[in-house]
Amino acid sequence: MNELEKIDPLIFDLIQKEADRQNKEINLIASENYTHPAVLEAVGSILTNKYAEGYPGKRYYGGCEYVDLVEIQAQERCKKLFEHENYDFHVNVQPHAGSQANMSVYFAAMKPGDVVMGMSLAAGGHLTHGHSANFSGIVYKPVQYFVDPLTEELNYDAINDLAQQHKPKLIVAGASAYSKIIDFKKFSEIAKNCGAYFLADIAHIAGLIAAKLHPSPIGYADFVTSTTHKTLRGPRGAIALCKPELKEQLDKAVFPIMQGGPLMHVIGGKAVCFKLALENSFVEYQKQVLENAKIMAEIFKELDYRIVAGGTENHLFIVDLRSKNITGRKAETTLQTAGITVSRSCIPYDPEKPWITSGIRIGSPAVTTRGFKIEDCKQLVYFIDEAIKNHENEQKLLAIRSKVQELCTKYPLDKWL
């Protein structure tokens, strides 16, 4: 019997149940993944015992000689992962989460009340890009850009016009639900034209960028932030990068402005994640992520679903469900019954409220880690279609659930959980 089971059987039991759920259900949530057991070991290690406010070599606590080395490893590996032959950059591996990484950049680049311009949540952006319910829309003056109503893609001319009109201090590029390539060069020109700092939030696409399957913002963006737990497949956490000349501003914004002691166990996990992401197999994984997303979008189209922006060039896409007479919310619960986890999602200019939505977001990173290839992904979309068509028929949904579990048995998560 392990210690957790002995001391806290309730939490032990809930973790077992969650592991079982993860094993038996198919996860299509675009922002989730299964991190490697080596990462889990680092995150579950005694590094959690250590306080290390400050940065390597300059801490406010004694006994930091080993955690300094851990943090330096994480920084160096991260630098190698995103390295660019022409541009140097600084890496901060301390942000606790993507939101904190973004807050730190905002503090580094702006004063409260300054104008920040980001993609609207309703169009696929993130809360931290200027939503009125978030610090970014409360502390700063938000200006939001949308996607083009016809193409549902970013319209760089319209974004430039908006920037000229509002003269933001910081422009944010990046999204949580956008399926096309983001042109960081164009964003950097837009920012330069209006004298703004440029932040590329690559939380979703960091793994693709690391594998060189999506253009990198390094060299174009003043700041780059990312979570480490999505396509990067690391521990829950984040990183913030910047041009060398902004290092002091950024580091000060992360600590002491935004955060106190860094989570050294998570930084250990990030170091392991970056080591794994530097292996060739990670590039192969990301290629499969792209192929799996693409084939799923194609099969949906064959089955007469509309895909927002016409398809995908990354790890995710949004399915417009209106022609199937089901809301995103209903589809999410329907698929849950069938053993498939997805997140509902607004479509651009959605007639439904954000709690209901007209779409679902489908992502391939987790199933690809699991081992799914093209044929499995095709099968998966047929299951989804069958479930959506039979959303009123619980018996049918439970029958699909059995088939989903069979597919899961083919790719057990034993290695990962």
Closer to ligand PLP by CB, 202 or 400: give it.
202
Residue number of the CB closest to ligand PLP reads 98
Asked if 251 is an active-site residue, the reply is: no
CA distance 32 to 27: 8
* Catalytic annotation, pick one of 77, 169, 230, 344: 230
CA distance 66 to 329: 48
* Catalytic annotation, pick one of 128, 227, 231, 368: 227
Per-residue tokens: 324: 């199937």
Asked if 222 is an active-site residue, the reply is: no
Closer to ligand PLP by CB, 104 or 358: give it.
104
User: Which conformational region is residue 337 in: left (phi greater than 0), alpha (psi within -120 to 50 degrees), or beta?
Assistant: alpha
Q: How far is the CB of 102 from ligand PLP (least distance, A)?
A: 6
DSSP type of residue 308: G
What is the 3-class SS of 132-171, one letter each residue? CCCHHHHCCEEEEECECCCCCCECHHHHHHHHHHHCCCEE
CA distance 176 to 118: 12
Closer to ligand PLP by CB, 97 or 342: give it.
97
Per-residue tokens: 160: 């430039």
Q: How far is the CB of 44 from ligand PLP (least distance, A)?
A: 19
Closer to ligand PLP by CB, 81 or 175: give it.
175
* Catalytic annotation, pick one of 79, 141, 236, 373: 236
* Catalytic annotation, pick one of 32, 53, 76, 291: 53
Closer to ligand PLP by CB, 142 or 339: give it.
142
Q: How far is the CB of 63 from ligand PLP (least distance, A)?
A: 29
Q: What are phi and psi of 92, to 5 degrees?
A: -115, 120
CA distances for 2 relative to 6, 41, 44, 220, 415, angstroms: 6, 15, 14, 50, 19
Residues within the interface to ligand PLP (CB under 6 A): 31, 97-99, 102, 126, 128, 174-176, 201, 203-204, 227, 238
Q: How far is the CB of 153 from ligand PLP (least distance, A)?
A: 17
Query: Which residues have a Cβ under 8 Å from the Cβ of 373 and sit 6 or more positions away?
Result: 288, 292
Q: How far is the CB of 97 from ligand PLP (least distance, A)?
A: 3
Closer to ligand PLP by CB, 90 or 126: give it.
126
Q: How far is the CB of 134 from ligand PLP (least distance, A)?
A: 10
Asked if 21 is an active-site residue, the reply is: no
The angle subtended at Cα 85 by Cα 214 and Cα 181, nearest 5°, is 15
Asked if 48 is an active-site residue, the reply is: no
Nearest CA-CA partner of 139 in 120, 114, 122: 114
CB 387 within 8 A of CB 25: no
Asked if 236 is an active-site residue, the reply is: yes
Query: Is beta strand 316-320 parallel, antiparallel or unpaired with respect to 359-363?
Result: antiparallel
CA distance 194 to 202: 22
Q: How far is the CB of 293 from ligand PLP (least distance, A)?
A: 16
Quickly tell me which residue has 């960028």 as its tokens.
209
* Catalytic annotation, pick one of 24, 51, 68, 322: 51
Asked if 59 is an active-site residue, the reply is: no
CA distance 80 to 218: 12
Closer to ligand PLP by CB, 237 or 339: give it.
237
Neighbour count for residue 245 (Cβ, 10 Å):
10
By annotation, the residues acting in catalysis are 51, 53, 201, 227, 230, 236
